[in-house]
Chain A
Amino acid sequence: TQLLEQSPQFLSIQEGENLTVYCNSSSVFSSLQWYRQEPGEGPVLLVTVVTGGEVKKLKRLTFQFGDARKDSSLHITAAQPGDTGLYLCAGGKADSWGKLQFGAGTQVVVTP
């Protein structure tokens, strides 16, 4: 059972378009992390959010943590081919330190 549900599973868009990836759960998390992974490589940490309602921006990427700390979203503005990759959300809980719960991932393809 996947504690964190990511949607959509796959997203294909043209360069310059915007996209949003969602990460939802019925559980409360103490922190939520977003990663991007390219084929054959390890996941690269994009951001960590810990406060309900928190919004963080990283250039064209905007991350939001839900008020109840059960969900998160990643919005990319004016996507570029370099944004192509597998986006993974992962949640941490204070009572199970060391165990990140990963979502199944969203494969994003940005074509020129």
Chain B
Amino acid sequence: DTEVTQTPKHLVMGMTNKKSLKCEQHMGHRAMYWYKQKAKKPPELMFVYSYEKLSINESVPSRFSPECPNSSLLNLHLHALQPEDSALYLCASSQRGLAGAGWYFGPGTRLLVL
């Protein structure tokens, strides 16, 4: 099973809403990632979790709050977003400690902030 699942597939929210994105993998990967992708651009790294601990935060605004409840789950809590935060949000996972391990991406959540 090389699948990363993400829910919801689509999300529309107002600037005062609170919502959460969810990601799950059962490949035993101990590294998980959140990326943001705008149209016609490559993915941009937001957060990295290694062994369920936040390892990298790429200076992401605090209105994005990641959480890793266990080794299979990754959440991204959203609050008071701006219209410019509209994008495809991608979750990924990889093996930790294996040189050249590939990243496995989920299908993404298409977010629209009104």
Contact status B55-A40, CB under 8 Å: no
Contact status B99-A30, CB under 8 Å: yes
In residues 36-62 of chain A, which contact B (Cβ within 8 Å)? Answer: 40-45, 47-50
**Contact of A50 with B108 at beta-carbon distance under 8 Å, contacts A98-B31, A98-B48 already known:** no
Interface size on A, residues (CB 8 A): 25
Contact status A50-B99, CB under 8 Å: yes
Contact status A31-B99, CB under 8 Å: yes
Interface size on B, residues (CB 8 A): 27
What's the Cα separation between A103 and B56 when bound, in Å? Answer: 21
Check if A79 is an interface residue, CB within 8 A of chain B: no
What's the Cα separation between A8 and B105 when bound, in Å? Answer: 24
| Chain A residues, CB < 8 A from B43 | 43, 102
Check if A104 is an interface residue, CB within 8 A of chain B: yes
| Chain A residues, CB < 8 A from B92 | 42
| Chain B residues, CB < 8 A from A99 | 45, 48, 56
| Chain A residues, CB < 8 A from B6 | 42
Nearest chain-B residue to A99 (Cβ)? B45
The distance from the CB of B12 to the nearest CB of chain A, in whole angstroms, is 15
**Contact of A100 with B90 at beta-carbon distance under 8 Å, contacts A31-B99, A41-B108 already known:** no
Check if A92 is an interface residue, CB within 8 A of chain B: yes
**A35, A90, A98, A105: which has the most chain B beta carbons within 10 Å?**
A98
